Structure 1
Amino acid sequence: MICRVFVCLLVYRLIGAKAQQCVPDPIFNIYLEDTTLSWQNISNCEGISYVTIIHSRNAGEIEYVYQGEDTTIDVSFLPYCRSYIFTVCAYSSVENLAGPFTQIGAYVPLPEGSSIGITNISGSQIGNNILIEWQVLREYLHCLDHYRILLWDEDSSEPKEITTRMNGYYITNAPFCMTYRVDMSVVYGGTENPVSTFNYTVPSATNNLSLLSVTQSATTINITWGLEIYSVNRCTVTSLTIVGTVINLTIPIQDSPERPPISVNLSGLKANSMYYFNVTVENEAGTSRPFQLAVQTLPIGYELDFDIGDSFDGYQYVQVSYSNG
């Protein structure tokens, strides 16, 4: 609420005033008790009201201007645990004159029995990290020594304890599909306020395959694959599929944290022939991008010496040299 013209330059309006004009008396005995600002009544002039201006002591900005006839103001709307400068003057609407201003500095305490809760907790994925954010109500923003955070993941028997004054915390290198539990509370004046609990599961992502080894004979190809490790992606893997030249094979996988290599033996193939494969792995996020592989079987009666070569046309080629056995 904005005060009118008298926004308190708050000076005596005695200069140029006629002798018969009534100037409101100065205000004494301003005090703040809990969240009630009070002062003495001024009655030496008619039409008396009071103008109150509230500055934040640290920022020095006007936060509130009020005019009314009461000699008290409930200032519980102000953020607690903060110092303010309260300026009050009496104003006569009959004389259109303001009396001298009076100022006090006072601290608005946290009301007894108050409970500072945490609200609007959220989690978001930023690259390989998770940002957990939260808020407290505006009136309690300054009533904070620190936040106490207890962080569990699915593998934790004991939580990690964090203290911070920020209203956010990064969980770094968070595995896909990991679930976290976060307990957080406000500590003020040595007292811990009620705990808020938040659970967050990192969004799922498909698993990336890596080629570990290839061995072949005239009629067989054996391929060994590695899955993305559990500490990077713990989304449950269910199957591996190979589709290619005369091959359409799906292998169920019983997933575990160890994620041992997966070996696939393809038999009944033609000798000295090139085979092309698209290999994918399925997990709860869906099907991975195909790993494209080209492998040539050996001529009958030859021994193998192979090398995993460069990719060509999107396929990873296995380069084969062989000698007559």
Structure 2
Amino acid sequence: MITKFAVLALLVLYSFVPSTSGQCVANSVLNLRIGANAVLSWEIDPNDPCEIDEFQVDVTGDRDDEYHFKVRETEVDLSFLEICEEWVFVVTPVSDGTLGFERRLTENIPLPPSADISLRYLNLTEIEPRDVLLEWDLTNHTHGDCTLRYRVTLEDLDDGSIQDLYVRGQSVHLHLLSPCVPYHITVRAVNRAHPTIEGPMRFHDHEIEPIPEDPPTLRTIEIGATEVSMTWRLENPGRNRCPIRTLYVDAGSNFNISLPLVDTPERPPVEVNLRGLYPNSMYFLKVSVENSGGLSRPGLIGVQTLDLSPGSE
């Protein structure tokens, strides 16, 4: 009886031993992409243990078009497909008749290298201070713009910094511009297929007129009986680079002071020291800053000085 059970166990174990028929399942291909010349290409995994004989290529369009074929090279010319139709490309390596793991790509057939991707115009409209609208259009709409992105480049002519934005569509709002900075703004179409093809650029030079700063904000404060020490934070120079001139502290009929400012790229908080105040008194302060665009709205604060007692100032 024991012998019969042992034989049965061996039979069951043998049935779960993996097949040793010699079939090799290849790894999926790498870097599957569609080029600007409509050539679908890929690479073989260098660590693939299988010897790959050919590749099964399956192409399905969003209009129910289908193409199925096998190739021996690592690329195939698909220039017969409709430009700007979305296609699903599936490439499967084949090793000795055995299908490997597939690689899938969903993409449009890109505009050909011969496509005219120049811009007919570039318009710039200042909607509000700091809000600039750029609008443009292609010179030629024969192929559409399914694989185009538009590169908007902002060059700060003061400090030489450059920022690139890639957008779809044919307009963009720029909220990052600072007043009092000269900008060189360029737009060009980029056919993002491999290899990347860029069209000629259009440009505008633009500088937003000076505008006042935002109200200063209180950063620190120390209160005594006859003295108050404060620091006030000014607007970030990245938002408003118009040169600053003076900080004003308006206490109504009590006093008014002005502090000349030296503009620096860092714009550290401004120190304000008020002395000779009355003990146990309330002061209402309006703090504003003047730049080349004018006077800011004031930052408001109420300060109650301390009682005069031994050790108090």
Q: Which has the higher contact order (CA 8 A, sep 6+)?
A: 2
Give TM-score scaled by structure 2 length.
0.50
Give TM-score scaled by structure 1 length.
0.48
